[in-house]
Chains A and B, each alone.
Chain A
Amino acid sequence: MIHVDRLVKHYADLRRGRFVALGGISFHARPGQIYGLLGPNGAGKTTALRILSTVLRPTAGTATINGYDVLTQPSKVRHQIGFMSANTAVYDRMTGWEMVEYFGRLHGIAAEQLAERMEHLFDRLKMNDIRDLLGAKMSTGMKQKVSIARAIVHDPPVLIFDEATAGLDVLVARALLNTVAELRDHGKCIIFSTHIMREAEKLCDRVAIVHRGHMLAEGTLEELRSRHHERDLEELFFQLISQHDGAHPPEEEAP
């Protein structure tokens, strides 16, 4: 479903010169699977997911989603995905209902079908109380719900969550994780990036540990544990990162 092959991304950066955000990462994710991208801040997770959502273009390498290439068929790719990140906010001057409807219609869903699906979605996500509330007046949890509804209104086969729980309180975060798990059970292919180990442990079927643009380890949680002889994911994570930093000392700390 998602094939990422030696994806490279460079940025021009004043301080660090040509900054390698992604140094050639590769992975595959299947339907009905949550694929976790684990890494500290600045690891390149957001860059990778922005490339998958066609917002950024890769410097080298390829990525296909449901058979469509992100570089050459970006609009086809965008129909296949629902993208949600800390950076995809909701409009201040739009109500919850208008916002979801707007994106549904951009996906070309017929009016009747859209209304039906939205009723269902609003029920399922318990959003009926924020139907007519303007985005500016919503709490973070409400906004998060609208964002989820917006991302899945067109029923995409692939969902991308980039640090989606960042800044949420425990209750809202937990509700979000439950929704993600439900979506997986509906057969969606999900990529979930986070730097919180507990979320990964709870949710992900496979994980890739990413650090400074490189993939340090990849596999199911069990595979990783047995390969590195460490039961605790957080310890394992820390170990891998220390090893990598020891072998390739960073010239300068990322800001």
Chain B
Amino acid sequence: MSTSLNNRARPRTRASRRENTLSPLSGALLNAAFLIVSLACLMPVVLVILVSFTHGDAILKNGYSFWPEQFSLIAYTSIFKDYGTVAGGYAVSIGVTIAGTALSVVLMALFAYPISRGDYPYRHAFTFFLFFTMLFNGGVVSRYLVYTQLLGLKDQYMALILPLLIVPFNVIIMRTFFQTTIHPALIESARIDGAGELRIFFRIVLPLSLPVMATMALFSTINYWNDWFNALLFITSEHKYPLQYLMMRVLNDVQYLRSNVELAAQNPELLRDLPNESLQMAMAVVGMGPILIVYPFFQKYFVKGLTVGAIKG
């Protein structure tokens, strides 16, 4: 866990690199290059945020611009007034994310722990059982038919939760964490004291594994929050759309009407009800909002989790 990038880099900076730095000119050039790249990563997000606060008239005149002429909150007021669906989408996304993340972390830990135990006789069989799913999968069509025909998950929230529950690679990371952090003697002594397997797991192993649990919860939260593909496959009723899928539908419907001029001409009311340009961008802001707000706090842990996973055991 101590592979924090900055911690590792620091001693070198102090001790030996003092005379081994870039010339001021190269340093400035390098910084300029990084500044440009970083801005390139940020600017699209900024553009969308600015446009969402721009008045429709200014958009018609100048297009989407980084210098909004007329400030307006109308997109947001109409989203939250007329678009009860957006609030609904939020509710679905939040519910699915919370339920999915909780279930996912518990289920992965319950699987990772036994296969981490050196004395568990079936650990190789179960590890392979898990691992094989990383090698071969039935493909999306087969999964679609199993979900809809066999499991009856068409238009069920469960169809959004089940696919992302078990990430095999993350289970392997958890197993490695248990193997390297929980000393077998600890489990042995607990058993001598009369603790059963379940008690050992919940009272000793889990509390010692909070860092890896937190990392997995983070991975899982992002997965669920950003998922829209499963909604695209399985969800049909509008009130069950998660937020990301709702956003997708809005954009595609607009696009569809635009490209079908005849359809629009026959049904002028369709075009009138079309969310206007700033409203679409406000949708995007609403969709990425939670991520942008918590991003500064979690990205450090995410990076840490990634490097833990990279050093495979």
Is the pairing of A and B real?
no
Please give the residue numbers on chain A whose beta carbons come within 8 Å of chain B beta carbons, in ascending order.
none
Please give the residue numbers on chain B whose beta carbons come within 8 Å of chain A beta carbons, in ascending order.
none
